[in-house]
Amino acid sequence: QVQEAIAGLPEEMREVVVLRDYEGLSHDEIAEIVGASAAAVRKRYSRALSRLGQLLQRRLPRAHAHHCHFGYAPAASVACTRI
C-alpha cells in the first residue's frame, strides 16, 4: 500500500521521496540531482510525506479494520490506538 501511495504522488514529490527514503540521499544531494535548492527539496519532501499520510489514512482503516476492536482505530503505524 505504501508503494501504491508513493506511485500516486506527483512526479516531483515521488522523485524526492524515492531519492531520500530508498536511495538514502541528503537534501543537498537531491537538490543537486533535481536542479533545485535544498530548501525547495525539503519543502517537496515535507509536502510529499503529508500527502502520503493522507493517502494512507484513507486506505488503512479499510485494510486493517478487521484487526481492531470496537473503540479502536488504526493509526498511521498500522497499530490500533484507542480513540
Q: What is the mean pLDDT of each run of 10 residues along the chain (83 residues)?
A: 89 96 96 97 96 84 46 42 38
pLDDT at 55: 85
The pLDDT value recorded for residue 57 is 85
Q: What are phi and psi of 80, to 5 degrees?
A: -90, 130
Instruction: Write down the pLDDT at residue 24.
Output: 96
Cα–Cα distance for residue pair 31/33, rounded to 1 Å: 5
pLDDT at 2: 86
pLDDT score of 72: 36
Q: 67 in helix, strand or coil?
A: helix
The burial class, CB within 10 Å (0-12 / 13-18 / 19+), for 40 is middle
pLDDT in the model for residue 58:
81
